[in-house]
Structure 1
Amino acid sequence: MAHLLRPTSLCTLTRVSQLSARSTWARVATSQGRFYSGTSGHNATKGSSASVKALTTLTAVATAAALWSQMPVAKQVECEAPPKDDKKPSKTAQVDQKRKLEGLTEDSPMRLRMEAFNKRLQAEITARIEQLDGQGKFRVDQWNRVEGGDGISMVMQDGKVFEKAGVGVSVVYGMLPPAAVAQMRAQHPNIGHSKEAMPFFATGISCVMHPHNPNAPTVHFNYRYFELGAEDGGEPISWWFGGGCDLTPSILYEEDAVHFHRVIKEACDKHDPRYYKDFKKWCDDYFYIPHRGERRGVGGIFFDDLDDKKPNELFAFVQSCGKSFLNQYVPIMEMRKDMPFTEEDKLWQQLRRGRYVEFNLVYDRGTKFGLLTPGARIESILMSLPLTARWEYMHEPSAKTYNRLMDVLRTPRDWIPL
């Protein structure tokens, strides 16, 4: 088979066009009542969470979301580990359900508006990715939590372009154990001293896509919101945003990395000129595989415990990042999805997928926490893993093309001027 071909530059591609009538936001009826999307604004108190970031990262891997009216009907599924019989919906979850039925406004709690944004974004992304694939369809599985919250996992397998692609959103209400609350207090003194568990809320959207073609990169993003101490539907004591995006190529095309970083930098710069530089380094550090001495990919941004501005400002920042995803990734896929490749390229891709699995199962906080959480839906947690991967004993890359990738994985590069 022919080897690599160099198509035209990404700069010649037009920006991703807006979706057709399918992109009109829909009112989505869920098993818990109506859900209204398309709002902005916030009223919440200031605070943050550090040591419970693993808990909130679960929201990025245990997935859920809204459906388009054109999408398949969601299949109701159960969590692998059912909750205890004494569990019941939280008061805040009950109050929020009534708010959804009445309709959201700019004055609605941030938790509901972030949930609305996540579900709306998931619907837009899955519609566009189905269009890009041209053959594959997302399977839609809906799940619910007794304590409050819900989720829909949307996964495509064995499509024409994508070997596996998953986009999900989760909404979780629960009680945070006293030990976890005490750990949070070390960095967030606004949390009062108490030996009692505290109510928490978390919602997040997560996306991972693994293409068939080794010239096309794997991509990941998640954006999440967490709050602590909102009793009976009231204001939280602490809150924060987290998230990020990163690109994982098997074969390095520098223009792809530049494009991916440029688009997310533009989103960051709209809100704070420091964000891209700081979050780019954070991403390089987070997605490091110590036992391999290399990064998972060519990076992007990563941030956590973000509460340095007013809630509305940070919500706007997270929205900008989430809305940038299709412009970050679709032009790259349109360039790479049909490129010719060799058997050696495919073998190399499978070996790189092995590294991806190693990071997710050994180091990723969200995956580790999710696997240890009673009542978690394991299929959603492991949604991020590729359909196929490979490990070989003492393998060394033979082609100069592959070694170029290894150079940047071992020594992160600044893809655009900081």
Structure 2
Amino acid sequence: MALQASSRSLQQRRAFSSAQTSKRVSVTKVRATAIEAENYVKQAPQTLVRPGIDTEDSMRARFEKVIRNAQDSICNAISEIDGKPFHQDAWTRPGGGGGISRVLQDGNVWEKAGVNVSVVYGTMPPEAYRAATGNAERLKNTGDGGRVPFFAAGISSVMHPRNPHCPTMHFNYRYFETEEWNGIPGQWWFGGGTDITPSYVVPEDMKHFHGTYKAVCDRHDPAYYEKFRTWCDEYFLIKHRGERRGLGGIFFDDLNDRNPEDILKFSTDAVNNVVEAYCPIVKKHMNDPFTAQEKEWQQIRRGRYVEFNLVYDRGTTFGLKTGGRIESILMSMPQTASWLYDHQPKAGSPEAELLDACRNPRVWV
């Protein structure tokens, strides 16, 4: 009996070992496939749109030019403040397009700052299409048959400073097209916005940030700022917490209600004002003294940032569902964050004021 039991045990161990080996081989194949999906190149191509098809005067090519110029100017401004350059990875995608990822890590001012550009096209599963747009009407009665032909170009950035008195900042501007699918005509729309996530409330800083974007909005449509400010507060709500990720900014999506030329001009103006809205605040506070308690509070707020990005952010969902580059998709994550059990800031404290502002959005300008 003991010998039979020992024999069965040996067989079980062998079977388990074989299964584990098979699993490792399978995982290795998956990883290899993922790596093969990205062709890293030493130098970014002059253009990532379709050569010979998307001409220079097409919206696709013009939007790519806007976001690549913005990537250059914003990275230059951040590097000048930090004193450290960005690391760049350029890649192409066999299915169509590619991207340029730039990350500054372990800097003097920023623990982590990334500015990514991507231009991708091909086909995507219907669930990715649904993740890409918040317009449910567009997707009624479409079913799940086939794959949706699409084009997507965008610039995305998140910057996490070291000093808890310097705010985290995020921006994203994108242009999207689909071709006819399941009876739905081809679509196009713009989306994006810039928002700010401080650990402490400094009204003058918020007036500067929001004031910059109100001026941008007013140059294009006086109704934009109120509409997009409110949209931002609604979008960045962490529903399971009942609080916003930060103190807002502007946000818009599915914008195609007017001439695309006008929306392109607005998007260009908005992305070109990221430096003006954000950098003066960082310069003002990057050398402020801070305590261990203030650093801990920053870590807790970063935890909220992670929760929103992984649970609710449509850009993250779209990237994962279309097999996007994982390092680029998760570039928005901070290097470190904290989740303390049932942490409650002391009533009347600066930390409690920030929490109140996240729960009850304020009008800054």
Same fold (TM over 0.5): yes
Out of 46, 57, 62, the position equivalent to 1:113 is 62
1:169 aligns with 2:117: yes
2:176 to 226, 250, 257: 226
Larger relative helix fraction: 2
- Tell me the alpha carbon deviations over residues 220-272 of structure 1, each in whole angstroms, 9 at most, x when there is no partner: 000000011289xxxx9321000011100011111111111100111111111
Q: TM-score, normalised by structure 2?
A: 0.81
Query: The residue matched to 1:252 in structure 2 has which SS?
Result: coil
Once the two structures are TM-superposed, the CA of residue 213 in structure 1 deviates from its matched residue by: 0.3
RMSD of equivalent CA atoms? 2.9
Kindly tell me the number of residue pairs found equivalent between the two proteins. 319
The amino acid that maps onto 1:215 is H
Give percent identity, aligned residues only. 51
Q: Which letter maps to 2:259?
A: K
Displacement, 1:188? 4.7
Of 160, 167, 178, 1:210 maps to 160
> Structure 1 counterpart of 2:359, which letter?
R
> Among residues 231, 240, 246, which one is paired with 1:297 in the alignment?
246
Higher relative contact order (CA 8 A, sep 6+): 1
Alignment of 1:15-414 (within 5 A): 80=34, 82-83=36-37, 96-98=50-52, 104=56, 108-134=57-83, 136-177=84-125, 187-188=137-138, 197-229=147-179, 237-374=186-323, 376-398=324-346, 400-414=349-363
Rg comparison, structure with higher value: 2
Using the size of structure 1 for normalisation, the TM-score is 0.71
Q: 1:37 is matched with which residue?
A: none
- One-letter amino acid matched to 1:260: F
Structure 1 residue 187: Cα displacement: 3.4
Q: Would the aligned equivalents of 2:128 and 2:318 in 1 still touch at CA under 8 Å?
A: no
Between the aligned partners of 1:265 and 1:257, the Cα distance in structure 2 is 12
Stretches of structure 2 that go unaligned for 5 or more consecutive residues are: 1-31, 39-46
Structure 1 residues 262-285: Cα deviation after superposition (integer angstroms, max 9, x where no partner): 001111111111111011111001
How many angstroms apart in 1 are the aligned matches of 2:354 and 2:314? 26
Equivalents in 2 of 1:285, 1:411: separation in Å? Answer: 11
Preserved contact between residue 261 and residue 300 of structure 1 (Cα < 8 Å): yes
* 5+ residue gaps, structure 1: 1-77, 85-92
C-alpha displacement of 1:95:
8.2
- 8 Å contact kept, 1:284–1:299: yes
The 3 A distance-change label for structure 1 pair 178 and 128 is closer
CA shift in 2, pair 1:200/1:394, >3 Å? same
1:82, distance to aligned residue in structure 2 (A): 3.8
